[in-house]
Homo-oligomer: A and B are copies of this chain.
Amino acid sequence: MKLHRREFAALVLGAAAGLSDAGAASADADPLPSWNDGPAKEAILKFVHSTTDSSSPDFVAPEERIAEFDQDGTLWVEHPLYTQVVYCLDHVPTLVRERPALRQKEPFRTVLSGNREAIARLPLGQIFEIVLLTQSGMTVEDYRADVKQWLATARHPRWDRPYTELVYQPMLELLVLLRANGFTNFIATGGSGSFVREYSDKVYGIPPERVAGTGQVDVFRHVKDGKPVLIYEPKLALNNMEAGKIENFWLAYGQRPCLAFGNSSSDDQQMLEYVKAGSGLRLSAAVLHDDPEREYAYGPAQGLPDTKVGTFSQAMYDMAVKQGWIIVSMKNDWKRVFPFET
């Protein structure tokens, strides 16, 4: 179904009415200029129109316009390793200085060897152990400061740019379009919420309180001068993988999104399934990484290589087709991938 010109203009005017989103000021402007015309773009624009036009049978009240976004592989690059894992690997030397007994133990020994291939082969359970240990023992505020500092200096090996520049321009445009049309955007990440909160507002316009993630226990303690602090422990409080992502979203916010974007079978499938199954018009979309030239190609949906990070299984692909999710092909649907491309 084609979007009529009048409907399209209404969407853009909606965007123009968003006070802080001055980018889309003219009724002739395309609110999603980095998306190629095609079924994905059309379905998104149609969805936004139908849920916000008060004369539409699919109208959704503003307070129910909840949009939920996975981060890694959906809003920014997740290859060759999740950014937060890179952060944690970078902190292994400090960790073993403080706890020398770990130096001879796996997986720390492999990490310290610097052997990239061996590091890439570490099983997920060991990666988790590294994450828990490198992100504990400090106050929550010292952790914040350290993440901020790291993000300011670390660079992605392929593009030699800060990780926070490796966000997808088409998705940034979508976030603006939704916000301008009365949607409230949330991030639901399999990574640590506390990591993503350091840049979510600046990069995505999503404030820290709307970032749900995996979370480590933090404990209230009085330190030597009697001052109360919160200290991270190497223990999970919330696990946002698999069904945990949508279970914890409800736990934290008590709302069922009407729109969700993800890309991974291990981390987004249940969220996309749950959102799509709600009553009324719902949009679930999965980003397919099928563009090795401009980004990466991995799957194994549609025969793409299985690289372990951010798997999009064929089974999830089949579910997506059957349930009518939108499949976003990076190669075909995105005119431009990154903001820094000209």
Cβ-defined contact, B246 with A208, below 8 A? no
Contact of A228 among B194, B237, B273 (CB under 8 A): B273
Residues of A within 8 A of B (CB-CB), count: 40
Per the 8 Å Cβ criterion, residues 271-318 of A in contact with B are 273-274, 277
Q: How far is the CA of A215 from the CA of B186 in the complex (A)?
A: 20
Contact of A220 among B228, B252, B253, B274 (CB under 8 A): B274
The reply to whether the CB of A254 lies closer than 8 angstroms to some CB of chain B is: yes
The reply to whether the CB of A247 lies closer than 8 angstroms to some CB of chain B is: yes
A204-215 near B? 1/0 per residue, CB < 8 Å: 000111111001
Cβ-defined contact, A251 with B218, below 8 A? yes
Q: Which residues of B contact A255 (CB under 8 A)?
A: 197, 208-209
**Chain B residue nearest in CB terms to A253:** B209
Q: How far is the CA of A207 from the CA of B211 in the complex (A)?
A: 15
Contact of A246 among B230, B256, B277 (CB under 8 A): B230
Q: Which residues of B contact A251 (CB under 8 A)?
A: 193, 215, 217-218, 237-238
Q: Which residues of B contact A237 (CB under 8 A)?
A: 238, 251
Cβ-defined contact, B209 with A277, below 8 A? no
Cβ-defined contact, A210 with B209, below 8 A? yes
Q: Which residues of B contact A227 (CB under 8 A)?
A: 277
In the assembled complex, the CB of A236 is this many whole angstroms from the nearest CB of chain B, namely: 11
Q: Which residues of B contact A238 (CB under 8 A)?
A: 237, 251
**Given A215-B251, A220-B243, A251-B218, does the pair A209, B186 have CB atoms closer than 8 Å?**
yes
Cβ-defined contact, B274 with A197, below 8 A? no
Q: How far is the CA of A209 from the CA of B273 in the complex (A)?
A: 22
Q: A197-B254, A252-B252 are in contact. List 10 more A-B contacts (CB 8 A).
A: A63-B201, A144-B254, A193-B251, A194-B254, A208-B253, A208-B254, A211-B254, A218-B250, A228-B274, A230-B247
29 contacting pairs across A/B (C-beta < 8 A): A63-B207, A140-B250, A140-B254, A184-B207, A194-B254, A197-B254, A197-B255, A208-B253, A208-B255, A209-B209, A209-B253, A209-B254, A209-B255, A211-B254, A212-B252, A215-B251, A218-B247, A218-B250, A219-B243, A220-B246, A220-B270, A228-B273, A228-B277, A230-B247, A230-B250, A237-B238, A237-B251, A238-B251, A252-B252
Binding site for B on A (CB under 8 A): 63, 140-141, 144, 184, 186, 193-194, 197, 201, 207-212, 215, 217-220, 227-228, 230, 237-238, 243, 246-247, 250-256, 270, 273-274, 277
